Amino acid sequence: MSAPTRSRPVAQRPPLWRRLAGDQNRNLWFWAFVGPFVAGLTVFVYIPILWSVYLSFFDARNTVTPTDFVGFGNYRDMLTDPAFLSSMGTFIVFAAFIVPLTFAASLGLALMIHRVRRFKAFFRSVYFLPTACSYVVAALIWKLSIFNGVRFGLVNTVLSWFGIEPIAWLSVTQPPWYWLVLVTLRLWLQVGFYMILFLAGLQRIPTVLYEAAAVDGAAPGWQTFRYVTFPQLRTTSVAVLVLLLINAFQAFDEFYNLLANAGAAGSGGAYPPYARPPLVYLYYVALGSQQDFGHGSAGAVLLALVIALFTVLQGRLLRFGRNE
């Protein structure tokens, strides 16, 4: 009597392992493919992030298993630390320079290369080539050869032809010539990469649009650019701006290599306080002689929040993800 009622669910529901494996073992296959990656991501990304948030609430000097809970103490310290705040300020100045400059330069180059008739491939290659260089190599050339503070540096040599005295590019703060060094270096390294993105965008614009614009009486040049080319590049432009901003926030390599001095690894003392972006500061806090993971983590969390804020703001401004 009771047998049918009991056997019905059994017939519908296969044994546990079969249910876990899914239809045609789909769950098993899925995790065989995705599992290794997700496991690694968990160990090296998710756990570190959670651990970092945990550490940021503790006094964690020289230890990663702290017991001294300080609540928001580390955050308060970082937010009232003039060095951390000035590093944030440095970043904002840096981003304000580098984002629009790189955007304009790479777009301009792409437009020129797109419309030049001869040696297109050659020009594209030359401007893209610096992408192969690391920031370390670029910093080496900029610091020791181009913007060297003594007479044999390239720029000072050229200036001397006009009777101008050599300038100590990296140590003069009035006027802040080091910005010229930092900005030109990053332009040289990055412009080619974004130029390729714009070139790809330009190639996708249908020729018909230009013909229609011509029929409507738009003059070639500025008007065509303003009403046809630029609007058509919107997706690319938004992506480039977002990438540029994120990259600017991650600035570390060239600042460190241009400005850190002898024996600086591990000690914050030899790095001049001006032109110090957040990551450089956090590097010294967390991995300097103090090994202060508590304050370092709190700073990293704050930096992540600021980046998120900027990204959202920029997204709003650019109406990211919204269709025309």
Partner 1 sequence: MTATDSDRRTPAAGRRPQAGIRLGRAQRTGQALRFVALLLGAVVFLVPFYLLVRNGLSTNADITAPTWRLLPTQVQWGNVGELFADPAVPMLRSLVNSLLVSVVQTTGTIVLSGLAGYGLARIPVRYAGVVSGLIVATLLIPAAVTFVPTFVVVSSLGWVSSLRGLIVPGLFQALATFLFRQYFLNFPRELEDAGRVDGLNYWGVFWRIVLPNSKGFVAAVATITFIGSWNAFLWPLVIAQDSSSWTVQIALSTFLTSQTINLHELFLAAVFSILPLLLIFIGLQRFIVQGVESTGINR
Which residues from 191-210 bind partner 1, rule CB under 8 A?
192-193, 196-197, 200-201, 204-205, 207, 210
Q: How far is the CB of 1 from partner 1 (least distance, A)?
A: 38
Q: How far is the CB of 231 from partner 1 (least distance, A)?
A: 14
Site for partner 1 in 5-44 (CB under 8 A): 22, 26-27, 29-30, 32-34, 36-38, 40-41, 43-44
Site for partner 1 in 263-282 (CB under 8 A): 263-265, 279, 282
Q: Is 314 in the site for partner 1 (CB under 8 A)?
A: no
Site for partner 1 in 154-173 (CB under 8 A): 154, 157
Site for partner 1 in 222-241 (CB under 8 A): 224, 235-236, 239-240
Q: At 61, phi and psi to the nearest 5?
A: -95, 125
C-alpha dihedral (122, 124, 126, 129), degrees to nearest 10: -130
State both tokens at 271: 């790095």
Instruction: Check whether the bond before 175 is cis (ω within 30° of 0).
Output: yes
Q: Is 83 in the site for partner 1 (CB under 8 A)?
A: no
- Residue type at position 34: V
Q: Is 316 in the site for partner 1 (CB under 8 A)?
A: no
Name the region of 194 (left: φ>0; alpha: ψ -120 to 50; beta: rest).
alpha
Q: How far is the CB of 283 from partner 1 (least distance, A)?
A: 8
Site for partner 1 in 101-120 (CB under 8 A): 109, 112-119
Q: Of residues 78, 253, 255, 281, which one binds partner 1 by CB under 8 A?
A: 253
Pairwise CA distance, residues 174 & 161, whole Å: 23
Quick one: which of 98, 114, 289, 88 has its CA closest to 204? 114
Q: Which is nearer to partner 1, 7 or 119 (CB)?
A: 119
First-residue to last-residue Cα distance in the chain: 66
DSSP state letters, 227-276? IIIHHHTHHHHHHHHHHHHHHHHT--HHHHHHH--TT-TT-GGGS-STT-
Q: Which is nearer to partner 1, 146 or 275 (CB)?
A: 146
Q: Which is nearer to partner 1, 177 or 256 (CB)?
A: 256
CB 163 within 8 A of CB 225: no
Size of the site for partner 1 (CB under 8 A): 110
